Amino acid sequence: MMNAAITICYLLAGIGFIVGLRMLGKTQSARKGNWVSALGMLAAVLGAFLAIVRDSGAEFSFGNVVWIVVGVVLGGVIGAVTARMVKMTAMPEMVALFNGFGGIASLLVAAATVVWLGGNAGGHFSAATLFLAMLIGGITFTGSLVAFGKLAEKLPSKPILYSGQNVVNALVMLLVVVAGVCYTIWPDQWWIFLVVSLISLYFGVAVVIPIGGADMPVVISLLNSYSGLAACAAGFAVNNTLLIITGGLVGASGIILTRIMCKAMNRSLANVLFSGFGSGSGGSGAAAAGGSQGTAKSMTPEDAYYILEAAQSVVIVPGYGMAVAQAQHAVRELAEQLEANGCEVKFAIHPVAGRMPGHMNVLLAEANVPYEQLVEMDDINPVMATMDVAIVLGANDVVNPAAREEESSPIYGMPVINVDEARTVFVLKRSMRSGFAGIENPLFFKDNTSMIFGDAKATIEAMVAEFKE
């Protein structure tokens, strides 16, 4: 009876995860998909609890139950409070931390299993899976903490490089591989497990610090995949089918997303991880404004209103600046005013806009912007020349024409949204500073571009006020 109940719980959990993941692929069903996945996790926790009761047998005690309940309640409270309190601008950092927590959980499961087995991992296959769970989990944990620091600007967003860095990392990786083979052959040598667990924590830092802040969306999706692979390995180690399925789903989806992000930047994963992209110095506001590219023109929101009032088509390109200003609701109101004035409005979304995959989609969905108005980069670029106005809202690198025009640019060849082809371009920024990639943007000096300086939310609200008056 107990075995049947556990099987049912695990089956429901697996179905919930697969169906929920499928529903998360579409904006219309994403919210329900989140609930379906959460119910799947509830079934998984219940199944794991029943499995503990079954396996404990005569050694079962309610003291163990208390600890399990305390852990579940404490984790639930922390998760609920965090989800309520976190700002949308801090969502990328939160995702990075979640990836890290998943990694350290797998490491602790592997370590607890080794301790429970008295330092002997058992068979060779068990030793190999425990080693992988520990190694990938440790890398994911500290790597995610570094990603968090870069996203939260508590660490320098530029790559941290030193001479011979890739060689050192390669030697460390070779040492880890040799240690893994040795531990698999001699699973009773538990000290190897302990030493490599410490190395894995170092290695997580070592592989992320050389990556610039502009590549953090790719890093987040890759670390997400790592956390799934670590969980999958832990599932093999503790013989838990559901953990294997769940880890496989997360690992596979993370790898697919990573590939999509790399394709969006026209770069290989190896280039992201090892190139040190963004290590050059970006232009300051003063340097940019007075540089050889020309002089940027500025405009007030009131002047921009007259152009918008006569426009028949407007495309809005959101970026991280919209998240910082929390301007998504004001942007939706501006779009409504434009539509009421007979204008067609579209939102052009670049795959790596913001600081995590889908960042802009989440913000616009929060503001109830109709999904039908969201247009992908490949669909908007062919018709950009027909658009009367393009409003760049805090985006920078994803609209940089240097990716098409300057072969010497670090981002040359990266697909960007060609806003410079629109008849008129408004760029809403606080200053002339470069973007997260640390390179200047020639768009600011184009003849059809006008800069509107100031807080993005206040600027948009001023435009809305002009329409209402």
- Residue numbers annotated as active site: 397
Compute the distance between CA of residue 234 and CA of residue 383 in angstroms, rounded to an integer: 49
Hey, CA dihedral for 25, 28, 29, 30, is it positive or negative? positive
CB 350, CB 264: distance < 8 Å: yes
C-alpha to C-alpha distance for 397 and 389, rounded to whole angstroms: 19
CB-based contact 383:312 (threshold 8 Å):
no
Residue with tokens 């697909």: 415
> Which residues have C-beta within 8 Å of that of residue 412, sequence separation ≥ 6?
402, 403, 404, 406
